[in-house]
Homo-oligomer: A and B are copies of this chain.
Amino acid sequence: MNTSPVPVAPSAGPLRPLGIDAVTIDGGFWADRQRLNAEAIIPHALKWETRVGWIPNFGYALDGTIAEHRHGREFSDSDVYKLIEAMSWEAGRTGDPGLEAEIERLGAMVEAVQREDGYVSTKFDNPGQDTRYSDFEWGHELYCFGHLIQAAVARIRTGHPDSAIVRVGLRAADHVLREFGDGAREAVCGHPEIEVALAELSRATGDARYVEQARLFVDRRGHGLLPDIEWGRSYYQDDEPYRSSTVLRGHAVRALYLTAAAVDIAVEQGDAELLDVARRQYDAALARRTYLTGGMGSHHQDEAFGEDFELPPDRSYCETCAGVGSIMVAWRLLLATGDLSYGDVIERTLYNIVAASPAEDGQAFFYANLLHRRTPAAAAPADEQVPRANSSLRAPWFEVSCCPTNVSRTLASLGGYLAAGTDDGVALVLYAPATLTVGDVRLRVETGYPYDGEVKVHVEQAPAPFALDLRIPAWAEGAAVDGSAASPGAFRVEGVAEGDVVVVNLPVGPRITRPDARIDAVRGTVAVERGPLVLCVESVDLPEGMSVNDLEVYPERGVAADGRGAVIQGRRLDRGDSGWAYGSPHEAPRGDLAIPLVPYHSWGNRGPVTMRVWLPVAD
């Protein structure tokens, strides 16, 4: 039982996570975003959840007028809970008393609505509403409980086991055990989430019944408990039993939350088979169903994974929440297997999905993360809630607004992902300016990463020599540690002592990346990356009137660093209509051109543009 403020708390495994109290990000890329989260994103989410009625719903549930007054989709309660979770991590990080009061105010509000038996919802079971558990496929009741319980776990771990939301969460969890336990109601929720929450609640409370309930839920899937729907049962991973599945499929966020739960259950119950299954599915998705940015999900319609190598950049969905879900899985697998290379996808997804979602001012978000924007989006609405389908522009709020609070809870707890304890020392997973305390060891990391590839690890305190494991990213060919070549994977420095400075050098200059030949949608193109950053071209950097659809590049002429981006040589095309787009000759290209690239995460902050990551190669 681990009650330190860790995002995830496995009770076994080769790596031991650090609490957010053990890590301070001191500056740079992620400190900027933690500050943005505290100062802009959390207040913004609180304002919007009030404005669109999701928080006020609880008041109406209390006064009995909810049927008449309710706003928001079935699952809007979950976003209130996710906001409480984000605020809990943030309060745990900074101790902000204003946040503390707000968390308790919201918790008391939820508690007032909770039934004696632990059930709580603003959508069902109140006067004039449908009865509870009348719609497992779309009702999202257990999904909401999952986020409620995650908020409770965050409060327990950050030192507030007496918080109102903890009482509510525990009552809800016990209600779930009674209602859905072995021999009771044989059902699962259309949207996985309760499973990972219950597993974590076991860890936070030491009560193994919760994780066993999570296991029951996982093993119930794939037996047709949910109805067939337009997109098939694969949409909610009810098409085949979890343990016989080989790859992530269907709705990406659902698949990832379920897999995070499977890893947790496997670890807590010592179920090696389940761990293998979860790892196999995730690894297969990484190899064949993941975008360069780490984004997952190729279909807008059902927010789902595509088939193998179906990765269209212009129709990429890459939901921000799927990025968060992927980080949840990868971090759990890293802790469970000790394989630091899972840090590669965590880093990639953090820099190119999580950091891409919020606008520079933290007041608007991408829900989907396209790799190619063919036409400029209409100017983002400054003050308007939009449907998720408009998710290819940053918007202040969505009718389904899971993404802003998912970004927020990830940023608030980000310190917990930088490193882990090993049996004989420390493993550094993410590079950022930070101070880390691992048992008796205190490290200070000094770096300008990701723009500068030098990382200095100052050993400020170490009663005895220890081993330092360093993640060397797969892209970092030519990396060195203390002047010695370090191959991608993990590099171990033995006998590190107090006063030492271990210097890691990662090649973060721009590089050209080619896609697997099986990805039809980007055949004949290249991308440019710098360290963990995917770069892109934005039309605002091209000559007046030129779209990103009108360019081709010469990768054989190389690529040069330019500020935080790069420049590649290419040409502008100018081809009119020939009446029929097949078998017709093209007009001559207009002329050569230097094409600037900027970090993908920063795109869309300079007004409506066209944008693309994959650049067509000139013949």
CA distance A474 to B579 in the complex (A): 10
Give 21 A-B contacts (CB < 8 Å), ordered by A residue.
Answer: A230-B389, A230-B390, A283-B577, A286-B579, A287-B578, A290-B580, A301-B301, A308-B549, A309-B581, A310-B314, A314-B520, A474-B579, A513-B582, A515-B582, A517-B586, A518-B573, A518-B581, A520-B522, A520-B525, A523-B524, A527-B582
Find chain B residues with CB under 8 A from A549 CB: 308-309, 518
Query: Which of A313, A524, A584 lies at the interface centre, i.e. has the most chain B CB atoms within 10 A of its CB?
Result: A524
Q: A231 an interface residue at 8 Å Cβ cutoff?
A: yes
B311, B314, B515, B516: the one within 8 Å of A575 (CB): B516
Q: A170 an interface residue at 8 Å Cβ cutoff?
A: no
CA distance A583 to B519 in the complex (A): 12
Given contacts A230-B387, A518-B549, 6 further A-B contacts (CB under 8 A): A231-B389, A301-B301, A310-B374, A344-B580, A516-B582, A520-B521
B389, B523, B583: the one within 8 Å of A525 (CB): B523
CA distance A475 to B474 in the complex (A): 48
Minimal Cβ-Cβ distance residue in B for A390? B230
Interface residue tally of chain A, by bracket?
A: 35 or more
Find chain B residues with CB under 8 A from A292 CB: 582
Find chain B residues with CB under 8 A from A313 CB: 520
Q: A243 an interface residue at 8 Å Cβ cutoff?
A: no
Least Cβ–Cβ distance between A214 and chain B, in angstroms: 29
Find chain B residues with CB under 8 A from A509 CB: none
B288, B312, B314: the one within 8 Å of A581 (CB): B288
The reply to whether B374 and A308 contact each other, CB–CB distance below 8 Å, is yes
The reply to whether B315 and A312 contact each other, CB–CB distance below 8 Å, is yes
CA distance A608 to B311 in the complex (A): 23
Query: Which of A301, A308, A315, A583 lies at the interface centre, i.e. has the most chain B CB atoms within 10 A of its CB?
Result: A583
Find chain B residues with CB under 8 A from A514 CB: 582-583
B231, B283, B573, B583: the one within 8 Å of A513 (CB): B583
CA distance A88 to B300 in the complex (A): 41
The reply to whether B374 and A286 contact each other, CB–CB distance below 8 Å, is no
The reply to whether B374 and A307 contact each other, CB–CB distance below 8 Å, is yes
Q: What 1/0 mask marks residues of chain A from 218 to 262 whose CB sits below 8 Å from any chain B CB?
A: 000000000000110000000000000000000000000000000
The reply to whether B312 and A516 contact each other, CB–CB distance below 8 Å, is no
Find chain B residues with CB under 8 A from A315 CB: 312, 315
Find chain B residues with CB under 8 A from A375 CB: 307
